Amino acid sequence: MSETLEARLRRLEQEREEADRRYNDALTELDRAIPRLGGINDPEPGIDEHQLATLNEAWNILPGAPSASGLKGKLAGFIWRTIGPYLQRQLTFNSVLVDHINRTTDAQRRAYERGIANAAALRAQLDALNAFHARLMVYLQQITAYVDTKDRQMNGGTLVLNAALSDVAEGQAKYRESYAAREARLTAALAEQEELRGMIAVAQQAIAALKRSVESLAAAPAPSGSPASGPEQPAAAFQPSFDAYKYVGFEDRFRGSQDVIRARQASYVPFFERARQERGVTADVLDVGCGRGEFIELLNAHGIPARGIDLNSEMAEVCRARGLNVVEADAVGYLANQPDASLGGIFAAQVVEHLEPAYLLRFLDLAFLKLQPGGTLVLETLNPACWTAFFESYIRDITHRWPLHPDTLKYLVTASGFTNVSVEFRSPVPEHERLQPIASGDTELVETFNENVRKLNARLFTHMDYAVVAVKA
């Protein structure tokens, strides 16, 4: 459940108050932890120099040497010679001691002076540290007020920004509405133009067909009777020459462009290349129901001789206009007039579903008879086991006569004498157009649901087309 705006504002206010309380508590603890620095005293003198001058004057305790005249002088000289050396050593000691005391006193004096200077410097540093602590506390106390002013400034800016964004959003909404309306009008106009282009193309083809029919009627008398019906004549829509142009337009609109068909059929070329390279087949490949001749062009581009037939006169005329070897004929009638074992291969893409069952069986028998040993038969058709193919493609074309299940067509080809027969599925339904499984939820329910999705996809949304490929032994 999503949080309401009022609850969110209340929660944000409580969080701000709690943050303020923690900040004030931390500031109080910091203030208490700041050390209170006391004064620094000067150092005491390290030596008493009161008697130093007297000591420097009294260290020499020996008088001068006595004179040697007279008895008294001789007696004094004897006494001097006796105790003089001892007094001289005392004098030397006194001299060394006084010198040491003088040097020590001088060093102590300099140390005392340095102590005085250090105390003054330390006192100045402590004063500066006390001043820094005071300024730090003042700074920290100003943070809350500073942040509050920024909040007020930001809130004001937010109000302005929200107002601006509201204006922009409102303008964008109006623009989207206007754009959607223009897009709808443009889509409708494009659809109308597409319809118009299709109608113009059909009209142009009708005019060309009418012109050729009139020229043909002017050059030769009309036949006295209709062609006999029977297994040699396929039942098909658009069969009269005056209607043939309509199916050309149908092909152009619904089957796909020549580039699309050429790209789809390119994968069939290797079957006929292997027949020539591995099995020594050299005769022409016949494209039955060649349409606009895309596969004939592919075979010729790979050095494989090919020709085609099409029951639709306009299709045949389109191919001949592009320099292809194509005649107007039906499959059974054409194959019946060919020598046995005279064809290197037979290709029929999206043809067999147009044939009645009896006509199809006759066509397969003739195909086996007219192929050279090692020749290849390729029959591509819609896959009626795929509902997408059946409802999107099969029932759209009114010339379709009989849907052929892959197992059925494979059996019929095998029954006609071919021994090496396989089925290749093509044009898979795009993944985004299939039923999608679910990823989470109750495990048992998800597994059951996903299994049903897999079963439905396997039956309804598999491959749009398939091809039966057979080699004559």
Q: What is the pLDDT of residue 11?
A: 85
Q: What is the pLDDT of residue 126?
A: 80
What string of DSSP letters covers 243-266?
GHHHHHHHIIIII--HHHHHHHHG
CATH number for 282 = 3.40.50.150
pLDDT band at 66 (very low <50, low <70, confident <90, very high): low
Residue owning tokens 């349409």: 291
CA angle 221/226/228 to nearest 5° reads 135
In a domain, 297, yes or no: yes
Mean residue pLDDT across the chain? 79
In a domain, 178, yes or no: yes
The verdict on 404 and 270 lying in the same domain is: yes
Beta partners for residue 463, in sequence order: 428
Among candidate residues 153, 174, 191, the one where a domain is terminated:
191
Q: Which helix (H) or strand (E) holds 58?
A: helix 52-58
The alpha carbons of the chain give a radius of gyration, in whole angstroms, of 58
If one counts every other C-beta atom within 10 angstroms of the C-beta of residue 174, the result is 10
Is-above-0.85 flag for pTM?
Answer: no
The verdict on 168 and 261 lying in the same domain is: no
Token pair for residue 214?
């009139």
In a domain, 300, yes or no: yes
Torsion angle of C-alpha atoms 418, 424, 426, 431, degrees rounded to 10: 150
The verdict on 149 and 279 lying in the same domain is: no
In a domain, 75, yes or no: no
pLDDT band at 270 (very low <50, low <70, confident <90, very high): very high
Cβ-count burial 355-387 (b if 16+ within 10 Å, e if not): beeebbebbbebbbbbbbebbbbbbbbbbbbbb
Least confident of 30-44, 117-131, 171-185, 320-334: 171-185
- Classify residue 346 as exposed, middle or buried by CB count within 10 Å of its CB (0-12, 13-18, 19+): buried
Q: What is the pLDDT of residue 228?
A: 42
CA–CA separation, 23 and 20 (whole Å): 5
- How far from the centroid of its chain's Cα atoms is residue 123's Cα? 68
Mean pLDDT of 300-323: 94
The verdict on 149 and 292 lying in the same domain is: no
The verdict on 178 and 261 lying in the same domain is: no
The verdict on 267 and 367 lying in the same domain is: yes
Mean pLDDT of 62-78: 70
Q: Residue 341, by phi and psi: left (phi above 0), alpha (psi -120 to 50) or beta?
A: left
In a domain, 294, yes or no: yes
Q: What is the pLDDT of residue 141?
A: 75
Least confident of 237-241, 277-281, 463-467: 237-241
pLDDT score of 206 more than 60: no
The verdict on 345 and 272 lying in the same domain is: yes
Say how many domains are in the chain: 2
Least confident of 117-131, 234-248, 349-363: 234-248
The verdict on 249 and 179 lying in the same domain is: no
Output helix, strand, coil percentages for the chain, rounded to the nearest 5: 65, 10, 25
β-pair type (463-471, 306-310): unpaired
pLDDT score of 361 more than 60: yes
In a domain, 170, yes or no: yes
Domain assignment of residue 84, given as a range: 80-191
Length of the chain: 473
φ, ψ at 376 (rounded to 5°): -115, 140
Among candidate residues 191, 206, 232, the one where a domain is terminated:
191
The answer for residues whose C-beta is within 8 angstroms of residue 144's C-beta and 6 or more apart is 20, 23
In a domain, 337, yes or no: yes
Mean pLDDT of 95-121: 84
Among candidate residues 169, 191, 213, the one where a domain is terminated:
191
Q: What is the pLDDT of residue 224?
A: 45
Least confident of 10-19, 37-46, 399-408: 37-46
pLDDT score of 68 more than 70: no
Q: Residue 289, by phi and psi: left (phi above 0), alpha (psi -120 to 50) or beta?
A: left
Question: Which residue from 334, 353, 330 is spatially nearest to 343, judged by alpha carbons?
Answer: 334
The verdict on 176 and 266 lying in the same domain is: no
The verdict on 185 and 299 lying in the same domain is: no
In a domain, 222, yes or no: no
The verdict on 263 and 375 lying in the same domain is: yes
pLDDT score of 102 more than 80: yes
The verdict on 346 and 465 lying in the same domain is: yes
Sheet of strand 285-288: strand arrangement: 326-328, 306-310, 285-288, 343-349, 371-382, 463-471, 420-428
Q: What is the pLDDT of residue 230?
A: 43
CA–CA separation, 212 and 104 (whole Å): 139
Q: What is the pLDDT of residue 31?
A: 80
